[in-house]
Amino acid sequence: MLAFAFAAALVAGVLSGLAPALRASRASVVEALGGTTPVVGRTLGHRRLASVFQAVQVGLTVVLLAGTGLMVNSFVRMMRSDPGFDVEKLVYFELSLSPKAYPGKAEQDAFFDQLVEGARVLPGVRAAAVGTPPPVGSGGTFVPEGGETASERPPLLTLHYVESGYFGVTGILLKAGRGFGPEDSPAGPPVAVIDEAAARRFWPGQGALGRRFRYSPYVPWITVVGVAGHVKTQDFASDAGSAAAYLPLTQEKSAPYRCLLVRTAGNPSPVLASVRAQIRALDPRQAVTRAGAVADLYDEPLVAPRFVLVLMSLFAVLALVTAAVGLYALLSYSVNQRRQEIGIRMALGADPAQVRRLVVRDALAPVAAGLASGIIGALWLTRFIGSLLYQVRPHDPATYAAVVLVLLGVAAIAAFIPARRATRVAPLEALRVP
């Protein structure tokens, strides 16, 4: 899309200067030296050729503006999208414990228990728990009990390994059932909390509580004990088909890689420093793999689209300005070449409003042709960027309506000065033959 934006802006610029260049290349040396006026047929031919170039330029501008408008609309929707939980004042610390220092689950649990208890009493901390950050998780496949022999490939599932306080810290709401508690011990039956997307997809209208599934053929069947609200993933484009499951850390045999989540009362920066200091106090050799604000995890996928959008917007503005300048030049040339015609019309009684309508009609002809061809081209080309759009259809009517209004407004502004100049033509001066 970015390559097309550059090409469209380049072609639009070339077309804006092509018509004057062709007129100059066809000019008669004798007429130029003699100061004679070109014949009517040649002038009319030049105007028609310039109108064709202007229509093509407007058409390319429509395509570029439509693509940019769709991307802007999509990006705004991404920025305003509700992640499904409160991301503000929530920070994370990823840690991967050394297998030599913490060889077993008991040692791993002891370290993280001390870390959580210490973090909860730090200044500026409201709550703390262990679990993967909501938009991040490991992958698996969702196979509901009774559907393991289905012929189609099982859908992907995002797995989150969490402790009992996870839902309270993140703010992810439990819509049905319960969270995790002391009863979910290693000796107890495997349990999980799934999100609404998984419940609706695999047990629509039936209720998911008590149902069983597994994410691998090598694990036992897991019973659903709760249903949580859906949390958006980092991949906005594929979020509509995503499903998630939350598994209790207490039932994992080993979990050296975990994440501490901390809900702060105010500015999270001091908390980031104090938690790092606490980790060093517990184990000076333990490094923090990664730390930061959970909100930044949602901003990361927007960096590349934001850059592309800025470039596309620059090309779109360039094409729009070029189209406006080209239309202004075309109308100025038309008014200058039709001075005698305008003078005759005004001498015969034409009022300024009629003359302005004549000039505006000359402006609308290439603009209308360019709008029609550009919309057809945009409807065909924008279907190729459908996978890049979020909650926006490639044929979004509002976007195309905005493009049409913008170009009509630009055309009106470009036609204003030539139209006003045409009404100021003095009939006697215009009829004077040099």
pLDDT value at residue 36: 47
pLDDT value at residue 9: 47
Q: How confident is the model at residue 427 (pLDDT cuts 50, 70, 90)?
A: low
**Residue 218: pLDDT over 50:** yes
pLDDT value at residue 52: 84
Please state, in angstroms and rounded to a whole number, the distance separating the CA atoms of residues 22 and 46: 9
pLDDT value at residue 152: 62
Question: Average pLDDT, stretch 342-369?
Answer: 78
Question: Average pLDDT, stretch 67-82?
Answer: 82
More confident residue, 41 or 137: 137
Contacts of 321 (CB under 8 A, 6+ apart): none
- Mean residue pLDDT across the chain: 80
Question: Average pLDDT, stretch 226-239?
Answer: 74
Q: Where are the domains of the chain?
A: 2-81+303-431, 98-285
Please state, in angstroms and rounded to a whole number, the distance separating the CA atoms of residues 363 and 286: 71
**Residue 78: pLDDT over 60:** yes
pLDDT value at residue 155: 75
324 neighbors 414 (Cβ within 8 angstroms): yes
pLDDT value at residue 263: 95
pLDDT value at residue 316: 83
pLDDT value at residue 360: 77
Q: How confident is the model at residue 45 (pLDDT cuts 50, 70, 90)?
A: low
Contacts of 288 (CB under 8 A, 6+ apart): 93, 94, 95, 276, 279
pLDDT value at residue 40: 45
Please state, in angstroms and rounded to a whole number, the distance separating the CA atoms of residues 199 and 196: 5
What digits encode the pLDDT tens for the residues 301-338? 677 777 877 887 888 888 888 878 877 777 777 777 77
What digits encode the pLDDT tens for the residues 92-115? 999 999 888 999 889 999 999 999
Lowest mean pLDDT among 3-7, 255-259, 287-291, 297-301: 3-7
List the one residue out of 13, 79, 109 whose CA is nearest residue 232: 79
The first and second tokens of residue 347, run together, are 């001498």
Please state, in angstroms and rounded to a whole number, the distance separating the CA atoms of residues 354 and 120: 79
**Residue 166: pLDDT over 90:** yes
Please state, in angstroms and rounded to a whole number, the distance separating the CA atoms of residues 167 and 162: 9
Amino acid, res. 419: A
pLDDT value at residue 7: 52
Lowest mean pLDDT among 72-76, 218-222, 226-230, 284-288: 72-76
More confident residue, 326 or 13: 326
pLDDT value at residue 434: 52
Q: How confident is the model at residue 4 (pLDDT cuts 50, 70, 90)?
A: very low
Lowest mean pLDDT among 42-56, 254-268, 307-321, 354-368: 42-56
431 neighbors 345 (Cβ within 8 angstroms): no
Q: Is the dihedral of CA 96, 101, 106, 112 positive or negative?
A: negative
pLDDT value at residue 37: 46
What digits encode the pLDDT tens for the residues 365-407? 888 888 999 999 988 988 887 777 878 888 999 999 999 998 8
pLDDT value at residue 271: 93
Torsions phi, psi for 215 (to 5 deg): -105, 5
**Residue 285: pLDDT over 80:** yes
170 neighbors 90 (Cβ within 8 angstroms): yes
193 neighbors 228 (Cβ within 8 angstroms): yes
**Residue 27: pLDDT over 80:** no
